[in-house]
Amino acid sequence: MADGRQFLFSVVALPNIMLYRIGIGVMGLVGIFVLAACAVPTGGRVIGGQPIAISELPTYPGAVELSAGESQVIDALFGPAQRETPPFIGLGIEVDKAQRNFRVPPETTFADIKAFYADKLLAGGWREDAAMREFTNNANSQVKNMQGAIWVRVDQSLLMVLATDSTTGEKELTLSIATH
């Protein structure tokens, strides 16, 4: 009889533990987004010219841009934060946000995405803030279904996140620019 109760406990507790871990990961990435939107680069202002529009960022090869409401993975995670009425005011800083979501090929890794964007961003005056890089690297090591990076330029922050649906394996990329 004890074996039956122990089995039942493990069947009930396992999904709850997984949901708890996923919830912690989602909260962490939402925290990253808020920090990215309100971050001031360490080391002072980033040189790089005028702020850019989200449409000026290139599309990852093989990615298909999603229409509003079409995202199955990213919208579930970041939708409420992106739907806040502009301008978003965080930590006393007025922030305008813009976002593009893409479905990417299933074999795409975050390393692939980061490599694709790195040279283009560096050439455009963007850089990875050292403090944000350490923060996102720690978050990335803990949550494998969501990988992210934050780049900064002038008065803008770029958050890029690759999210994987753990049940379907579908992958979506979001590029989100916050202009301070």
Q: How far apart are CA 178 and CA 180, in angstroms?
A: 6
Of 64, 54, 9, nearest to 160 by C-alpha is 54
- Cα distance between residue 71 and residue 173, in whole Å: 10
Q: Which residue has the tokens 């008065």?
A: 155
pLDDT tens column, 69-126: 888 888 777 665 555 555 555 556 677 888 899 999 999 999 999 999 999 999 989 9
- Dist. CA 151–CA 46, nearest whole Å: 10
Q: What is the mean pLDDT of the chain?
A: 76
Rounded mean pLDDT, 162-172: 92
Residue 87: count of CB within 10 angstroms of its CB: 13
Predicted confidence at residue 16, as pLDDT, reads: 55
